[in-house]
Amino acid sequence: MDDDRRKYSRIKIKQMVLIHNQKEITNAKVKDISKSGLSFTTQFPIEPNINLKASITLQFTENKTEIINCEGLVIYCCEIENTFNSGLEFSAVSDAHKEILKEFIESQTY
């Protein structure tokens, strides 16, 4: 039986994300993304249950890149092999950026 309770399936990607908290902006690597959130890695832990802003670069093709901005809640953070994996559940994404994200996910699904 599948224990995954996610509403939307995630696609694996290797894209960059800028994480904004109230003190600083940090580069991170996106591991996977869905319509409802993403997981990313950093070199330091991120406190769960805090709200962050994120700017995600989505590379559709070699010649097409879009950036979406969103806000979300950090659901978890765990250390794996000297990096920290975190999950961000989207709480605020504009309608225009939701459409870009939907288009991106559909373009990456085979």
* 17: CB partners within 8 A, 6+ apart: 27, 28, 29, 30, 38, 40, 54, 55, 56, 57
The domain spans of the chain are 11-108
Write down the pLDDT at residue 23. Answer: 81
Is the pLDDT reported for residue 34 higher than 90?
yes
Is the pLDDT reported for residue 5 higher than 70?
no
Model pTM?
Answer: 0.87
Q: Write out the CATH class of domain 11-108.
A: mainly beta
Is the pLDDT reported for residue 98 higher than 70?
yes
